[in-house]
Amino acid sequence: MTRPSTSRLVRRLIALALRTWPIALRHTRGRDLGRTLRTDTESRRGVAAGLVLLAGLIDIVRAGLHARAASGRRARRMGGPGAGATGAPGVRHRARALTRGLRADLTMAIAAVRARPGPALMVVLTLACGLGASTTMFSAVDAVLLRPLPYADDARLVEITEVEQARGSTGASLPALEDWRELPGLAAIGAYAAEAGILHAGGDAERVDGVGVSPGFFATLGLPALVGRTFDPDAPRFDPDPKMILSHALWQSRFGGDASVIGRQVALDQRHYTVVGVMPPEFAYPAHAQFWTTLTGAMEMIAQWRSVRYLEVVGRLAPGTSVGELRASLDAWRDRQAALDARAYAGHRPRVRPLRDAIVGPAGPALLVVFGGVGLLLVTACCNVAGVRLAGGLARQQDLAVRAALGATRARIVRQLSVEGLLLGLAGTGAAMALARATRGAVVALAADRVPRLEFMRTDWRVFAFAAAAGIATALVFSIGPALSLTRAPVSGHLRASGSRTVAGRGRGWRAFALLVSAEFALAVVLVAGAGLLLNSYLRLSRVDVGFRPGGLAAARITVPLAKPWTEDPTKRRFHGEFEQAVRALPGIRDAALVGRAPLEAVRGGTEISRPGRDVTAVPNGLLQVSSPGYFRTVGARLVEGRDFTDADVDTTERVAIVNDVLARALWGDASPVGQRLEFGYFSGPTPATVIGVVHRIQYDDLSAELRPELYLTYRQAIVVPMQLVFRADGDPVASVPAIRAALARVEPGGVVTLDQVTRLDARIGTLLAPPRFYLMLVASFALMALLLAALGIYGTLSFWLGERRRELGIRLALGASPGALARRIVGRGLILAGAGLAAGLVLTLAGGRLVAHLLYGVTPADAPTLAGASLALVLVALGACALPARRAMGVDAVEVMR
């Protein structure tokens, strides 16, 4: 409670509550009271502070009411002794009067709704749209960004890493981890590195993916094991007796949820671990980890190098330390290290961010943009409802005037109208909750696999609280505004105008309507333009040249054991060659090949590639790929120049390479690279190769990833990295998987090698397109609703205006105006409103454009065709909405109206 903004809010709230006090008392004691309550609030933390503040505010108001009642009584009694006297009767009386009054208001409100159900229904439906969409989005934002992570005091968890800008690679070295452990800003620190292996226990051989973790990992996150224990934070870093903790899912699927698994030996490949615990299902860090082991000593030697950045680090901030302070001390650490070892730290900077940001990633800001969009929709709905209420109020103005003349105060009338609004607001809230509940499943289904934590979307009390708060707030806004505007004029005017419809609420009503409708249009422009930009960006993304033909193409992960003789390249080459041949021979398989990373697969880091010698045109972030001959043919990539690898390119012949057009252009410009030599960074240092071909680039990583320089080697001349099988089948490639598995079993019996993660490439494209499609569909539906509301608004306003002016129009007709001129007048009015809104909306769109820029691909926020299209759509909608009132104006019968 010590942030300046919070403390200002506390001051405001106290000042507001003190308004209930009699002036004299407020002046003598108010300031000191405020100071005391603030001290009291600030002495607590978190929820407790909020509760103290809330109780304090309620008490101030109560004390204020007591004091007012008591001072009234004292005035009557004139100076009796009274320190012990209390004000119960007066307050009770007041409270009872208030309840009675509210009950009367409620009865009248229900009567008013019954008398004119049309507008009320309209209001509730509009609110259900606006509030329903907002509530659904809130529940998504709540799940992704607000709900606490399942770890103790999760706000203090941070991700720390070292970033190399040039290659976009991240990771931390073991010595860095040791240094960071000493930083005063961190209470605890832990690290993990990917670990995988083939599990034979409890079923068929299956590859499982998990992490090896440092001893402090679990203590840092602070969630206890479900069964057994987590790792001892004081254990040695490299455990001579490796231990394993199972994820809840793996425990269920492979060990039948049996608690006696604790203490058992489990083998991954030929590495043996003792199971010591099982984590609860909500522990999902890192995401999808199936097990956690102690770090093994295999890498102990090279792990001591500062340039080997293979760890992901999670830290817990010490109490009172901010992320910014930790960042500053990390930067200072980096500068000290760079002075000692310039080579290991060249181009590297530490990065620290809240763990939630790391988990949620880019989905967080995107979701906030969409939430902002729904906020605009809610305001539009609010404007619309205010318009309906204003029209209803103007129609009832004489009724209100009579009540005022009979002695109802302005406050009393405003209160009654507000109660009516509140009733409608509550109905809208109910409908919104129902809508949010109904759409939850659809929203989760649309994007749960690509928006982290979206699966936690619920329609629980938090969401209900939001819906109720938003509903009540909107109800008050759309009621009090019109109510104040309606009750501003003197009573007599309305009474005198009784009977004649020409005078009542003339200019005033119009101005308020014009403002509301223009605002609606402005907001609709922003939403429609936003949806247009997202659509434009989505279309571009879905038409990206991926460089391969996805139809019938699939990729599957091959895992060989991490044990002898499988650590030797000749063994792997023999197996991969035989397996590839066996798959190619299968019926229904058109082609098959091997590659390190299949198209559109995530890529981390990069390799420096240059011409031999000192070369200034070197690329730092090349993608080094190991493939088999026929890979390009299989995926349908275009060989622009030269030849593919052949089976004759083996480890005894000259090392050859194929480059993509991006790399060719970067190193040799327009000259042909075929026959040229290059050098690439490899395990053993810079390694030369001769270029034999140029391939048109293939898209890796994401659809929107920048074009990367790619360098291909054949697996017979390179270290055999973990490989993927890519194959093209007639029909659905997934249907061929059993046959492929059978072929694998023939080549390598006994489940020694596994094949999993089979993905169709067209499905992978669909998955990558899912988030932008998700945001597009959300914003587009908001835009459609806003457009509808704006159209209804302009239609309603013109209809109302027409109703007010029927007499005037009749007179004009009688005096010789043509019906067409009247219609033009109506349409002109409508277009003025729409035009004003359009201009304001375009300004808003341009101003807010940079907020959505990070969601766009290939389009700028100020994209002129998109904005023009949105404007055109709005003008057409406005024209459509004007048409009906205009037709009605043409049909006005002068004689009938004048009578």
Closest distance of CB 70 from other proteins, Å: 8
Q: Pick from 4, 84, 118, 816: which binds other proteins (CB under 8 A)? A: 84
Secondary structure, 3-state, 819-854: HHHHHHHHHHHHHHHHHHHHHHHHHHHHHHHHHHHH
Main-chain phi, psi angles of 776, to 5 degrees = -60, -50
- Do 286 and 193 meet the contact criterion of CB atoms below 8 Å apart? no
Q: How far apart are the first and last CA of the chain?
A: 69
Q: Pick from 6, 7, 25, 308: which binds other proteins (CB under 8 A)? A: 25
702 binds other proteins (CB under 8 A): no
Report the run of H or E that residue 516 belongs to, with start and end.
helix 506-542
Q: Quick one: DSSP state of residue 598?
A: -
Closest distance of CB 6 from other proteins, Å: 18
Buried b (16+ CB within 10 A) or exposed e, 473-490: ebbebbbbbbbebbbeee
Closest CA to 508 of 528, 529, 482, 531: 482
Closest distance of CB 66 from other proteins, Å: 6
CA–CA separation, 401 vs 499, rounded Å?
Answer: 13
Nearer to other proteins, 91 or 201 (CB): 91
**Placement of tokens 């310039």 in the chain:** 342
357 binds other proteins (CB under 8 A): no
CA–CA separation, 598 vs 204, rounded Å?
Answer: 26
* Torsion sign over Cα 55, 57, 58, 60: positive
CA–CA separation, 527 vs 373, rounded Å?
Answer: 7
115 binds other proteins (CB under 8 A): no
Q: Pick from 82, 203, 565, 865: which binds other proteins (CB under 8 A)? A: 82
Q: Which stretch binds other proteins (CB under 8 A): 77-85, 190-198, 778-786, 837-845?
A: 77-85
Q: What are the C-alpha distances in Å from 306 to residues 161, 173, 175, 312, 367?
A: 13, 5, 6, 14, 38
Nearer to other proteins, 52 or 890 (CB): 52
Q: What are the C-alpha distances in Å from 261 to residues 205, 278, 806?
A: 18, 9, 85
Nearer to other proteins, 84 or 499 (CB): 84
Nearer to other proteins, 31 or 511 (CB): 31
CA–CA separation, 506 vs 597, rounded Å?
Answer: 72
Q: Pick from 9, 16, 19, 28: which binds other proteins (CB under 8 A)? A: 28
Nearer to other proteins, 59 or 449 (CB): 59
Q: Which stretch binds other proteins (CB under 8 A): 22-30, 435-443, 523-531, 542-550?
A: 22-30
Closest distance of CB 324 from other proteins, Å: 28
Q: Which stretch binds other proteins (CB under 8 A): 24-32, 195-203, 455-463, 873-881?
A: 24-32
Q: Which stretch binds other proteins (CB under 8 A): 78-86, 249-257, 318-326, 494-502?
A: 78-86
33 binds other proteins (CB under 8 A): yes
Nearer to other proteins, 88 or 843 (CB): 88
Q: Pick from 8, 15, 86, 751: which binds other proteins (CB under 8 A)? A: 86
Closest distance of CB 320 from other proteins, Å: 22
Nearer to other proteins, 63 or 125 (CB): 63
Nearer to other proteins, 40 or 641 (CB): 40
Tokens (6 digits) for 713: 């080697």
CB atoms within 10 A of CB 793: 29
Closest CA to 480 of 391, 399, 418: 418
- Do 66 and 92 meet the contact criterion of CB atoms below 8 Å apart? no
Closest distance of CB 10 from other proteins, Å: 12
Nearer to other proteins, 46 or 81 (CB): 81
Closest distance of CB 61 from other proteins, Å: 7
Closest distance of CB 56 from other proteins, Å: 5
CA–CA separation, 564 vs 269, rounded Å?
Answer: 10
Q: Which stretch binds other proteins (CB under 8 A): 23-31, 193-201, 615-623, 878-886?
A: 23-31
CA–CA separation, 385 vs 778, rounded Å?
Answer: 22
Nearer to other proteins, 22 or 347 (CB): 22
77 binds other proteins (CB under 8 A): no
91 binds other proteins (CB under 8 A): yes
* 3-state SS, residue 781: helix
Nearer to other proteins, 65 or 395 (CB): 65
29 binds other proteins (CB under 8 A): yes
Q: Which of residues 35-74 bind other proteins (CB under 8 A)?
A: 35-37, 39-40, 55-57, 59-64, 66-67
CA–CA separation, 473 vs 432, rounded Å?
Answer: 14
Q: Which stretch binds other proteins (CB under 8 A): 21-29, 212-220, 284-292, 578-586?
A: 21-29
10 binds other proteins (CB under 8 A): no
Closest distance of CB 78 from other proteins, Å: 14
Nearer to other proteins, 17 or 279 (CB): 17
Nearer to other proteins, 59 or 399 (CB): 59
Closest distance of CB 98 from other proteins, Å: 17
In sequence order, the 6+-apart residues with CB closer than 8 A to the CB of 412 are 101
83 binds other proteins (CB under 8 A): yes
Nearer to other proteins, 54 or 853 (CB): 54
CA–CA separation, 507 vs 495, rounded Å?
Answer: 17
Angle between helices 819-852 and 363-395 (to 10 degrees): 150
Report the run of H or E that residue 208 belongs to, with start and end.
strand 206-213
Closest distance of CB 319 from other proteins, Å: 23
Residue 660's DSSP bridge partners are 695
Closest distance of CB 252 from other proteins, Å: 43
Closest distance of CB 89 from other proteins, Å: 10
Nearer to other proteins, 64 or 810 (CB): 64
Residues 410-417: contacts with CB under 8 Å, at least 24 apart? 410/487, 412/101, 413/483, 413/487, 414/480, 414/483, 414/484, 414/487, 415/101, 415/105, 416/105, 416/108, 416/109, 417/389, 417/393, 417/479, 417/480, 417/482, 417/483, 417/486
Strands (E), 696-770: 710-714, 724-729, 754-760
User: What type of residue is 623?
Assistant: L
Nearer to other proteins, 59 or 300 (CB): 59
Closest distance of CB 476 from other proteins, Å: 25
Nearer to other proteins, 25 or 472 (CB): 25
Q: Which stretch binds other proteins (CB under 8 A): 28-36, 216-224, 508-516, 694-702?
A: 28-36
- Do 231 and 218 meet the contact criterion of CB atoms below 8 Å apart? yes
Tokens (6 digits) for 774: 């998700």
Closest distance of CB 68 from other proteins, Å: 11
**Residue ranges binding other proteins (CB under 8 A):** 17, 25, 28-30, 32-33, 35-37, 39-40, 55-57, 59-64, 66-67, 81-84, 86-88, 91
